Amino acid sequence: MEIGVCGAKSPWKGAFAPQTVILEGAGEGPGVGRDAASVPGVRFGVSLCHVRVLNLRCGDDLRETLGPAGYEGEYLAVTDPLCQGPVPAEAAGFDHVRAAWICEGYGVPFAEAQQRVADERAAVDGLEQYDEVRLWFEHDWFDQAILIGLLARLAMRPEVRKRLTLITINGFPGVDRFHGLGQLDADQLATLRERFAPVTEEQFACAEGAFAALRAADPHGLVELAGADSAALPLLPAALRRHLAELPWTTDGLSLSERLCLRGIAGGARTPAEVFQAHQDADPQPYLGDSMLAPVLRRLSQGDRPALVDGELTEHGALLLDGEGWWSTPSRWVGGVAVGDRGWRWDADSATAVAPD
């Protein structure tokens, strides 16, 4: 089985350089403003009073529908997948670490990954030029990780804080299994306008605490946040629980994503698209794009006793699924937590992290 991108939403798929283009469908007349070399975005149209609005989203899935839905302004996709790979505590070198992970994990040339991360940082640094910045997010860990990182970063910028409005949802009437905003058409998106609200002091504080916990070497701060209700960001605790399930489990050493991939292959999935779909169907809170499964599948093919060879279950892989084996996970990062054969573990029964031996 070839590991690669198979067509679903993925944060690092497609054209890598951010683009600025004019779309029809919102405002009165063509957009007015910056050229294509400016901050990356899409201009839907500018109102006659020239209020500058930015629609910020953690992906491109709304790029074509917000204009027809009647939302004016520009579009910015911020897509560094903080839900996967190392999220270091140190500010110095943070972008380099993230670019290196994107290169290693997704096969993106390092220079391209580094440039994209730098472009996104520059775009966020320039948010004060807008009168309103609408933040479009949903419940899954991909979105929530980027949201807390963004709010934590903007918490110390009073000139930007007052311009932020936010929507975070985990469902929509008539959508049986809601995965995200990208499922909604223009008419459905148009109904969400009144649900935007200014970002509150409590939300900034919650995001700062959660992002610091994500970057910590000890996961107990995340465990505490995941086990408590959050009035400020009510969709965050469930997303954090899904994140913690990516630690090796105390039962077999597998993460939840690794286990779901093995089950999908055991059930007959053979192509990357089939494995991705099986993973999505079985995941209690799916958040990984198709290309984001590539590092998971590679890990399962590594080591002296791989669980997969050429996309097929090995004898050891079958034993793992039968609960009779132990997966010696290759060294990797889950946020700020270093895991390996003797690293942190996740006890799903007690919903807590177990310290290394």
Give the span between the Cα atoms of 218 and 335, in whole angstroms.
Answer: 10
pLDDT at 26: 57
CB 210 within 8 A of CB 150: no
Chain centre distance of CA 354? 25
**Splitting the chain (357 residues) into consecutive groups of 10 residues, what average pLDDT does each group show?**
41 39 41 31 51 96 97 97 97 97 96 97 97 98 98 97 97 95 98 98 98 98 97 98 98 98 97 96 95 96 95 97 95 96 94 93
CB 247 within 8 A of CB 219: yes
CB 345 within 8 A of CB 248: yes
Q: Is residue 280 part of a domain?
A: yes
Q: Is residue 29 part of a domain?
A: no
Count up the domains in the chain and report the number: 1
Amino acid at 20: T
Return the residue matching tokens 């990208």: 182
Range of the domain at 295: 247-354
Q: Is residue 315 part of a domain?
A: yes
- DSSP conformation letters of 137-190: EESSHHHHHHHHHHHHHHTT-HHHHTTEEEEEES--TT-SS---GGG--HHHHH
Sign of CA dihedral 36, 42, 45, 46: negative
Give the span between the Cα atoms of 236 and 275, in whole angstroms.
Answer: 27
Q: Is residue 195 part of a domain?
A: no
Pairing label, strands 85-86, 332-335: parallel
Q: Is residue 284 part of a domain?
A: yes
Pairing label, strands 132-138, 53-57: parallel
Give the span between the Cα atoms of 198 and 163, in whole angstroms.
Answer: 8
Cα-atom radius of gyration of the chain, to the nearest Å? Answer: 21
Q: Is residue 202 part of a domain?
A: no
| Residues found in the chain | 357
Return the residue matching tokens 């105390």: 250
Pairing label, strands 312-313, 308-309: antiparallel
CB 336 within 8 A of CB 210: no
Q: Is residue 259 part of a domain?
A: yes
Q: Using one digit for the tens of pLDDT, what is the confidence trace for 255-307? A: 999 999 999 999 999 999 999 999 999 999 999 999 999 999 999 999 999 99
Q: Is residue 120 part of a domain?
A: no
